[in-house]
Structures are given as C-alpha cells and as structure tokens.
Structure 1
Amino acid sequence: MNILVLHFLLLLLSTVVDATNTADSPLSSIIAPRISPVYSSMSAFSPGIEVGRGKHVMDSNKKLFLALVTASTAMGAIILFLLCFWVYHRKYTNKSKKKSDHSSDVSEGLAFSQLRFLGKYNTLKTCRRKGSVTTMDFKMLESATNNFSESEILGVGGFGCVYKAKLEMNLSVAVKRLHGGTSDAIREFENEVELLSNIQHPNIISLLGCSIHAEIRLLVFELMQNGSLETQLHGTSRGSALNWHLRMKIALDVARGLEYLHEHCHPPIIHRDLKSSNILLDSNFNATLSDFGLAVRDGAQKSGNIKLSGTLGYIAPEYLLDGKLTDKSDVYAFGVVLLELLLGRKPVEKPAPAQCQSIVTWAMPQLTDRSKLPNIVDPVIRNTMDLKHLYQVAAVAVLCIQPEPSYRPLITDVLHSLTPLVPMELGGTLRITKQAPPAVATMPSNN
C-alpha cells in the first residue's frame, strides 16, 4: 500500500513539472532561442515591441499560475482519493483479519476439549492433530484398555463395546470400539467424528480422539464416572442415587443439549437415537448426550436415503409408521426419558413372556389424573416433591409424547418449563428456602 501511494505521488509531481514546462515552453524551449535576436534588433526601431513582449510574459505567468492552481487542485483531489482508499483498505484488512481471527477462535473453541486433553497427555509420538480431531495411536489405546479386556468394559451396545482406558498421568478415558468394517459401522464412525468435531456444548459428549487400525475403529471420549442414566435408573441401584431434584437437573441438561442441536447448529441436528443409555452422567450427575452415529442434519432426511433407525420405545410414531423425521422426533424421545425419570420404569416392559407393554401406553391415562399420578411415581422419589411441580412435569411429558408431532412443543419451550423446577445450585432458577427449626419453649424462671 505504501509503495502504491509513493508511486502516485511521484506521478503527480511529474505531472506538475510537465504542466509548468508546458506553460513556460513558448519562451524558453522553442520560441525564445529562435526569436530573441529578432526581438533585440526590432526593439531598437519599435519600443512597442517591448510592450507586447511584457504582455506576453504576463500571459505566460498567468498561464503558469493557472497551471499551478490546476495541478494543486488535482494533487489535493488525488491525495484525498488516496487517503480515502487507504482508510477503506485498512478498515477492510482489519475486518478480514478479525473475521479470520474469529474463525480461528471458533476452530480452537470447537477443539477445546481435545486441546485440554492434549495438555494433560503430552506424548506427541502417539497423538497427532488431523483438522480438529486428534488421531491417536492404536497400540497405545490397545495397551491402555489392557488389550480390550472384558474387565474394562463399561457398556455394550449395538455398535460394539465401550472400554475404560487409563493413559499417562492416570488420565482415564472411555474408548468406544465399533464392530467390524461393515458399511453401516464405517458410516456411523465417520458421522460421529464429523459431527462431534464441529460442535461443543457442556451437555454434549466431548470427542477427544479417534483411531483406525485395519477394520477396527476407535473413538475416545471423556470418561463419565456415573455411567449412563439407564444404568442408574434400571441397574442394581434402581435409581436410589437420584433424588427428585437430581432427576429434574438431568432432564434440564438433556433439554439444553437438544436445544443446542436444534436451535444453535446450522443446519440443525436431529439426534435420532435419544434414550437413557445414551445419556451419560459425570461425577456430579451433569448429563451429556452421546452416541451421534445415527444423528442427521435437518434436511438430509428429505433425500430419502436414510433408513429407519432407533430404539423401540423411543421412536416417534410418525417416524416409525411413515418415515417422517423432524426435530419433534427427538422431542418425543425426550418425553419418554422424562417418563423414565418420573416413573422409574423402562420404556418397554414385558409383563408376560408373550406380551410387550409401552410406558407411553400404560402411563398416558394416569398422567392426566391428579388422583392417580402420585401413586405411579417411582417409589424412590414418591412424596418427596411439591405436588405442583409433579403435575407440571407430568404435563410436559404428556405434551412431548403426543402422537401428532404438531401438538408437541419445541424443545426450547420444554427448557423454559423445566428451568423453574430445578434449584439454582443445580443450574435452574428455583430458590429453596430452608424452614427454620421450631422454637423450643422455655419455662419462665422463678427468679
């Protein structure tokens, strides 16, 4: 830019000099050498010639003055133009730089969990960055899981197994191993890497790295110490670690994760496999959504290439029967999870060997009956909550599991309904006032 300005100034100066020379040229460069003798000889015979010469000199000075004024005006205009151009160029450059810096910050933000992980795990020989995903050495992960020992299994699903692994500096992680090299397994692996490497939210599981070795594909996640919501509710503890407020906090966390996917991702993301086993809990029972292998971006389902996928009991009826998939399908699944938290029952139960009962079908008639509702609540939390809050949560669940998707609320509306029911210390807005202990009556003193 400075070189360009200097070039223009030099060009301008040469223009002024040329203008000056042009104004002066009739006397100095062409005519003067040829007619000066004539002027001197004729002046002796006619004094009027001197007057004409003086007048000509005055005209030349006037032309020179006009040329200088014109050149100065042109110089001012050019300098003003260059100044405006320089200001615009600098402003545009700074804007582009800020935009570039912002993009860089977003990219760094998306990979924050990976960078934090790499800060703790510093073996550069076994980890390398590939875009925003850390590619990890297979042998290192194999060793960290004790050669994928059964004793290190944290959970088993249709995709494969999740193992607990301990890396350097006693850093514990979860390693998800996908079954085989089928086209479905490869597609789910690539889908999960692509989505999780581009989103970040406190209620979305953090992808720390991945590894591919022959047909074995591994995903490395942050370890969630309290396992899945399914294990907490339907495992050996039968939900005993989850009181009413913790359950509402988990529901609120899940709603926040879904709202991020539906409202803040562009294009929006439909999880498509929301269920209690895909809701993981950390040491403080903060909930995160996991398993994005079946997730799709809104609009992709319209291509007709997406086959029916999900888990029985959580699949919305319009998706199950007609293949119509929208964000309201996730809202339906959320309603089923809310019923699990409320009732402590599985989404599909078998009261008899040949029978299969849905929690939605069983609970719907009783959820709207205030006289029956308190009796079907999970015994672990029964009579431990404000009945007004119980009715409100039941009403939210009923709306979410409506057969007609247009009757279901947006997940943002669900979030606004649940926030006032969760204590402030757990992330909500509910203020809990502790009742003062009753005053102890004292007998008056005889003194």
Structure 2
Amino acid sequence: MGLGNCEVAVALLLFLSCSSSVYGDAGDTITPSQPIKDPEAIVSAGKKFELGFFSPVNSTYRYVGLWYSNISAETQVLWVANRNNPINDSSGMMTISEDGNLVVLNGQGEVLWSSNVSNGFYQSTAQLTDDGNLVLKAGLNGNLVWQSFQQPTDTYIPKMTLSSNARTGKKTLLMSWRSSSDPSVGNFSAGLNPLGIPEFFIWYNGHPFWRSGPWGGQNFIGIPGMYTSVYLEGFSVQEADDTFTLSLIRDPVFRATYVLTSHGKFIEQYWDYGKQGWEYTWEAPSTECDIYGKCGPFGSCGAQNSPICTCLKGFVAKNKDEWNKGIWTSGCVRMTSLQCDGIQNGSEVGKEDGFMKLEMMKVPTFAEYWSNPSSEQECKDECLMNCSCVAYSYYNGFGCMAWTGNLIDIQKFSEGGTDLNIRLAYTELVADNMRNREIIISLSVIVGAIAICICLFFSWKWMATHRERNLICEETLSSEAQDTIFDGNLPENIMEVKLEPVFKLQILETATNNFDISMKLGQGGFGAVYRGKLPDGQEIAVKRLSRTSGQGLEELMNEVVVISKLQHRNLVRLLGCCVEGEEMMLVYEYMPNKSLDAFLFDSLRKGQLDWKRRFHIINGICRGLLYLHRDSRLRIIHRDLKPSNILLDHELNPKISDFGIARISGGNEVNTTRVVGTFGFMSPEYLMEGRFSEKSDVFSFGVVLLEIVSGRRNAHFYSNENALSLIGFAWKLWNEGDIAALVDPAISDPCFQVEIFRCIHIGLLCVQELAKDRPAVSTIISMLNSEIVDLPTPKKPAFVERQSSLDTESITQSHKINSINNVTISDLKGR
C-alpha cells in the first residue's frame, strides 16, 4: 500500500472511531427481539442522550437510567426506571413484554419495573428521542402510549413539562432520591400547586417546604433573581382545561438541568465543557427565610435581620415566650380590630380601615385573583369593600391579588419582589404615622449633627494630607463627560454608580517592580499593561496611560463608570483606578492567558484551542454580550469587540474587556458625531453614519466568530485576486459550496463538522449589511444551541470587498479627522 493510501486509511479509521467507538452498534430503539442487556445501551439518533445500566456512587445495585451521552452516568443521571427495585447483579434486561409494556427484568425473569399501560397492545417499540424522552409506541401507526416525561424522577430538563390539574388534583411531580447512592423515592417532591394562582412548590412528605411565589405572567414573583438568570427566565406557565403546565420555552446555552436533591434543594445547573463539570447557578431554598412559614401567620422573615422574624406593623407575637426563644411558627396577631370587625359584632363603627405598604416582598401563599382591574386604586377599593380581605398586591402586567384569612410565608427581599399592602385599623395607621414623624424629627437632628462633625473631620484630614494631590477618580463626572459617555441618554439610576476604589501610586509601583519591562504584558491604545502583585498576594493587571496616547481622562472615567456596574463571569473585573499628578491607571484582575488573539493567530499556540474550547469561548462571549445588552442594570453597547479585547483566564474562559469607548444606551439606536473603534469590526451604519445599537456589537461578534472558526485575521485579505476581506472570502466560499475551505486546519474534524459549519452560517448572519437583518444575541444563543434548527439564508454581508485603501493593520491610533456624512471619525485603532 502506498503512502497516499495509508493516509486515506488512517483518516477513515479516525472518522469511524469518532462516530462509532463510543456508541458501538447501539441504536435508539428497543423491541421484543432487540432488548438491551447489562451493560448494553441505546443512544438517541443525534447522540445527545443514552439509556443503559448504571450503579450509583457507593452502590453495587444496578438500575436502568438515562443520561447525557457525553457526560458520565456517575456525574448526573436524569431518569431512573426501576428506582425502587434495584437489580442485585449484572443480569438485568430492559425489553418489551408480551402485553406490549416496557419492562425491566432481573436474571430470574421477574418484572422489577413496568410502563404499566393497562390496555393490552401489540407490535410496540420503545425509542429514546433527542429530547431525552423515552417513548413507548404501539401498533403499526406508532401511537404514543407512554413516555418517561410523564413519570420523571428528580431531574427536570428542557422539553419536559410538569403539570397539575386544579379539578382532579392529579400532578406530574419531581421526586427526590433517598440519598446520593439510593435513587428510590425520597422525602421531597416538587411541582405546580394549582390552587388559586399557580406556584411552584417543594413538599417534604406532603407538607409545604418551599414555594416560588405566584406566577406573574412572565416570572415567579417570589424568586428575586429570576430576571437575571439566563435559564430561569425561560420558564412559562400555561393553563388549559383546568390544567396548569410548566415548561421551558427555550433551551439554555449549555446542557442544563434542574435537580431536586435528597436534601430538598432545587438546583439549577449547566455543564461547563471547559471544566468538564456541573456549574451551579441558582438554588432554592437558599436562606432560612426560604423555608415555608418560617415566621408563622402575619410574621415577616428577613434573611439580613437578627432575629430573622418580626411581626408585621400592627401585630404582636401570639406567644411571646416562644417568640423570644426563636420559635416563631405560632406567628402574630392583630393589635387593633378592623372597622369591618366592629360592623360585624355590632359595636361602634370607627373610621375606615387603611393600608400599610411593604416594598420588595414575597407575597403570602394562596392568593385569590380578581379580574384584572385598570388601576391599583381599583384593586385597593375592591379589597376595602370586602371585609374578608386582609391584604392586596397589584403587580404590573398581571393584575390584582388579594388575601383572606392568615397571611403565611411573607419574606422581605433586598431586591425584586413586589409591593404588599396590609389592611390596618385607622387608629393604628394614625399612631404609626405619629411615631414615624417623631422618629424622623429625632433622627434628622441626630444625623444632621453627626454629618456636620464628620464633614469637619474629613475636611481637616483631607486638607492636611492631600493638599498636593488631585485624586480625580474620587470626583464626580463633569456634565460634559457624562454627555460623552452616555450620548445624551442619561439613565435615571446613574447617580447610583459608585466609582471603584482608588489605589495609591506607590502601591502600584511596588506591585509592578516600578513598571519594569520584565512585568510588561502588552501594549494597547490606552498604553502599556503590566503584571503586578499586591501585598496580600493578589495578582493584578495594571493598564497605564501613555503620555503619548490620544486617550485620557475621558476614556478612563468612561471605563470606570461603565464597568463598575457590571458583574458577570464573562466580563473582566475592574478592581480600581489610580490618578496622581500625570499618572492615570486602571487596575484589573489578572488574566494569565492574555487575549484570544495571542492563541488564535499564533501557529504554535493555536493547537491548544481545539473545537470544544473554541465553541466554549464563542458561547462565553455570547453570554457576556447578552448580559451587556439585556441583563445588566445599564444596557451597554461595547463598540470595540475583537479578539484582542477578549481575555482568557487560567481555564481559557473568555472575559470581554476594554470598555473605554463603550456607551450606555436606553435600548434604542443612538447617533453620535464621534466614531471610534477598529476597522474591520465596525458595522457599516456605525462607520458611515455614526448610528450604533446592539446590532453593531452583533456585527463585531460575527467577525470574531469567523476569525475563531477560520484562525485567520480579518485584517488580511484572501483569494487569488488579493482583494477580499475575511468576510468577503467567507461569502465567496459560501456561494461556491466550499465552506470547508474556511475552517482552520487545527480544528478540522469530521466529528464536529456540522457544528463548525453551523457557526460559520451564524457568523454570516451576524455580518449582514442591514442591522435589522442581524439576529439579536438571545437568538444567536438559541442558534448555537440548535434550538432554532432551520437557520435563515444569509444575505450579502457588508464590506465583502476590500475597502479602497483602508488597511486595518496600517490605521493604528490615527487621530486625523475624516468627514464622512458629517460624522467625525477618530481613534481608528488597529488590532
């Protein structure tokens, strides 16, 4: 055999090993003639899920379970068939019985578990779908007669639904394992409670243990962080024929599960491909106050308080001795009777009852729901007219909730929640107002005196120690700087922005060995970046403004203000700043692997970025952008997304950096007369007309995505005519049906070809010429995750051909002013 034939044979063997070595000859179906025997398994058609035999940790018993195909069963089992009847040895089998049911048998032929469909049927088959659902089909038509999604164990996955019927009481529930080594039914269950407004409950042996608060139309009101979690905000609750159904309306970025643990925790987790482990993003209950009814009727729980339980205003402890001992379950009772009580018992009628507003609350359980009134005032009036109504809450976009009887499971949040209005007697409200007025007057006098003393002390100290220094980082932004940073769209909550801590110059000089050349990490438009170590051992990166740089105080203050409000795993963390004399510096967390371009375009290092790592980086950049555009308190347009501004930590997790020219936007398109950024990554509407929006960052992301897949710089040009940009080169190959020629040889692998080609397709969608044609970041995430299966055909991208003489490599920190459509273009940076 010649050398060429040898190479072909090796390539063929590698392909076969990738596609079949893991799964052998496993199909996705069980029939009477094709059972699975321990240790055999079946795998879904798309290789996403696997069904087979496993043993839990610290156990020799065998069970039939279902798990993600490329994640070990020892790490996470999603569903268990014979959870209450283990197999003692490895003689087990799953097959189709004579009556058409799916069964698990031991070596003696005893039925340990059955799908238990009562009506007999024939010619049935069981199939494992790519949704992770084991379905049983009967007859020639393949009618669905049973599915594992209807009998979940302890884990909820996308495409699964949990239902509850208000009329019959029938529920589809998650049931916890008894322990980590015993999958039999444990003490905890979880699902929807349909009484009144639907809520998600965890029960301990049938008794409420934790609840989510009412479903408010888009989220559960009692989960404060539901709007900030990429996964939690995808839930939906629907009603049909007295049945409420909970479902996940979109797949998460990574494989995500929601697990009810044997200890009663409901955990949200996703698989981190880089770390090869589960990352936990949310859990409930998370504090003592989350335990159902912790403070009893009319008691409010505050996790930050000591003691955590207090009676609502107008109420006192029902059993003071128990309350003082920290036993709060007996709760509180009303101090002053309501006017309605006086009317009912025939006593003298007083003035009308009123309401005390409590803000950011987890509202009580079992609310009644009236038809949606047109205003909060109507909600209040309806409650006043009903003597049984003791509290109401008006939730925007949902409507009016009201409660009668005892108010159970109230909690005070530090964020989120909603307003809760408690009904009190008129005399109680008047007395409370008088007490508040006295307290306010007393506190005003005390606080005023203290404030004067503090001001005098700090004024003296400042004059004594800082006469010669001008610490600009401690000053408030000038109105001119604010107009530049926010482009005229000043958010209401900008006054809440706190500037980062100020570092002394001497500390940073010591940390960087007086900015020694050996500590230098790189050079950017702002200036040099140095590695350093603080006295406590923390490693830092110090960005030092060069005196020859065109950037200065404006960019420094912009970055401090913007990034000080951002906290996300895929954004670099700013630790502080330093401004002394002519020195201006920013201090960041240290990223040991520098930036993405240091790997991507280095022939020796790019091999460390295999496709799984590159796909992980792509998803990380997307999560960071989604946070900037949608989930952060201030909506941010980065405006300079490129590989050199994507840093990598020690595990090669991506972190978006360099917010010097980022802008805070109200969510709409913004016009500017000062265009800054990097040629090759700026969208056409921004470069030519000064208009930027979230879709401008999407364009930049599309260029970055094509660079990651191809391993080529957008700054170079391709094709025989030497006149195409990377975008144009990709578009040419796309139209020629030769997109494989774009893929970096370092990641070219038949195992991942479909996923790689899909990313190129997404990249071309992102760089389309018109902003309205580009997908939003949330849509891109769904595309990457294959939730959106059929992608639209991309239209012709912008900048397909090389733009006249503008070579991005040669335009580095140019400060010439060019007039294009009355837009000033400055700081046209290179890479």
Residue 322 (structure 1) shift: 1.8
Aligned positions of 1:47-446 closer than 5 A: 73=348, 80-85=425-430, 131-180=498-547, 184-298=551-665, 305-349=672-716, 357-367=724-734, 369=736, 371-383=737-749, 385-419=751-785
Question: Which whole-Å CA distance do the structure 2 matches of 1:321 and 1:76 have between them?
Answer: 68
After TM superposition, give the deviation of residue 355 of structure 1 in Å: 6.5
SS at match of 1:133: coil
Q: How far apart are residue 89 of structure 1 and its match?
A: 9.7
In structure 2, do the counterparts of structure 1 residues 141 and 420 end up closer, same or farther at CA, with 3 Å as the change threshold? farther
SS at match of 2:543: strand
C-alpha distance in 1 between matches for 2:576 and 2:711? 35
* Residues 669, 693 of structure 2: 8 Å contact kept: no
Q: What RMSD over aligned residues (CA atoms) do the two structures have, in Å? A: 3.2
How has the CA–CA distance of structure 1 residues 222 and 384 changed in structure 2, closer, same or farther, with 3 Å as cutoff? farther
Deviations 1:33-58 (A, max 9, x none): xxxxxxxxxxxxxxxxxxxxxxxxxx
2:595 and 2:648 in contact (8 A); partners too: yes
**More off after superposition, 301-310 vs 203-212:** 301-310
Deviates more, 1:251-260 or 1:162-171: 162-171
Amino acid at match of 2:600: L
Residues 137-180 of structure 1: CA deviation (Å, up to 9, x unaligned): 11110121121122211121111111101122432110011223
Contact preservation (8 Å) 1:181, 1:216: no
SS at match of 2:708: helix
How many angstroms does 1:265 deviate by? 3.1
**Equivalent residue of 1:218, what SS?**
strand
1:248, 1:418 within 8 Å by CA — same for their partners in 2? no
Per the alignment, residue 112 of structure 1 pairs with none
Task: Give the secondary structure class of the aligned counterpart of 2:529.
Answer: strand
| CA distance in structure 2 between the partners assigned to 1:242 and 1:77 by the alignment | 71
On the 8 A contact 1:233/1:344 being kept in 2, the answer is yes
Q: Distance in 2 between matches of 1:381 and 1:329?
A: 28
DSSP-derived class of the 1:146 partner: coil
Q: For 1:196 and 1:376, how far apart are their aligned partners in 2?
A: 35
1-structure distance, mates of 2:672, 2:729: 34
Instruction: Answer 1 or 2: which has greater helix percent.
Output: 1
**Distance in 1 between residues matched to 2:430 and 2:765, nearest whole Å:** 60
Q: TM-score scaled to structure 1, two decimals?
A: 0.64
1:193 maps to a residue whose letter is V
Q: Is this contact kept in 1: 2:621–2:654, CA < 8 A?
A: yes
For the 8 Å contact 2:717–2:726, the answer to whether it is kept is: no
Which residue is 1:23 aligned to? none
Larger relative contact order, structure 1 or 2 (CA cutoff 8 Å, min sep 6): 1
- Structure 1 pair 74–411 and aligned structure 2 pair: CA distance change class (3 A): closer
- Measure how far apart 1:73 and its partner are: 3.5
Alpha-carbon distance in structure 2 between the residues aligned to 1:293 and 1:415? 26
Question: SS of 1:147's equivalent?
Answer: coil
For the Cα contact (< 8 Å) 1:349–1:356, is it kept in 2? no
Amino acid at match of 1:274: L
Change over 3 Å in CA distance of 1:406–1:90 after alignment to 2: farther
Q: Which has the larger radius of gyration?
A: 1
Instruction: Find the aligned partners of 2:525 and 2:668 in 1 and give their Cα distance.
Output: 22
How many residues are paired up?
Answer: 313
CA contact (8 A) 1:374 1:383 kept: no
CA distance in 2 between counterparts of 1:409 and 1:195 reads 25
Note if contact 1:367-1:398 (Cα within 8 Å) is conserved in structure 2.
Answer: no
Task: Give the direction of change, closer, same or farther, for the CA distance of 1:83–1:396 in structure 2 (3 Å limit).
Answer: same
The alpha-carbon distance between structure 1 residues 212 and 348, as it changes in their structure 2 partners (threshold 3 A), is same
Tell me: CA distance 1:308–1:239, structure 2 relative to 1, closer, same or farther (3 Å): same
1:347-386 deviation per Cα after TM superposition (whole angstroms, max 9, x unaligned)? 111569x9674211111121355x4122221010012543
Q: What secondary structure is seen at the aligned counterpart in 1 of 2:658?
A: coil
Amino acid at match of 1:254: I
Measure how far apart 1:183 and its partner are. Answer: 7.6
Counterpart AA for 2:426: F
Equivalent residues of 1:203, 1:256 under 8 A apart? yes
Distance, in Å, in 1 between the alignment partners of 2:781 and 2:669 is: 27
Measure the CA separation in 2 of the matches of 1:224 and 1:409.
31
Deviations 1:392-441 (A, max 9, x none): 111111100101111100011111222359xxxxxxxxxxxxxxxxxxxx
- Give the counterpart letter for 1:374 in structure 2: A
Q: Is the 8 A contact 1:244 1:384 kept in 2?
A: no
1:205 and 1:288 in contact (8 A); partners too: yes
**Cα gap change, 1:86 to 1:198, in 2 (>3 Å):** farther
Question: What is the DSSP-based 3-state SS (H/G/I as helix, E as strand, rest coil) of the residue aligned with 1:177?
Answer: strand
The one-character-per-residue Cα deviations of 1:20-42 (angstroms, maximum 9, x if unpaired) are xxxxxxxxxxxxxxxxxxxxxxx
**1:164 and 1:174 in contact (8 A); partners too:** yes
Q: Is the contact made by 1:153 and 1:164 (CA closer than 8 Å) also made in structure 2?
A: yes
Question: Which structure is higher in strand share?
Answer: 2
Identity %: 35
| AA in 1 matched with 2:574 | L
Secondary structure, counterpart of 2:541 in structure 1: strand
Whether the aligned pair in 2 keeps the contact of 1:368 and 1:395 (CA below 8 Å) is no
Q: CA separation in 2, counterparts of 1:75 and 1:281?
A: 69
Matched AA of 2:500: V
CA change 1:278–1:143 in 2 (3 A) is same
One-letter amino acid of the counterpart of residue 402, structure 1? Q
Give the whole-Å Cα distance in 2 for the aligned partners of 1:244 and 1:335.
17
Shift of residue 199, structure 1, vs aligned partner: 1.4
Distance between the aligned counterparts of 2:434 and 2:714, measured in 1? 62
In structure 2, distance between residues paired with 1:269 and 1:360: 26
The two structures have a TM-score, normalised by structure 2, of 0.35
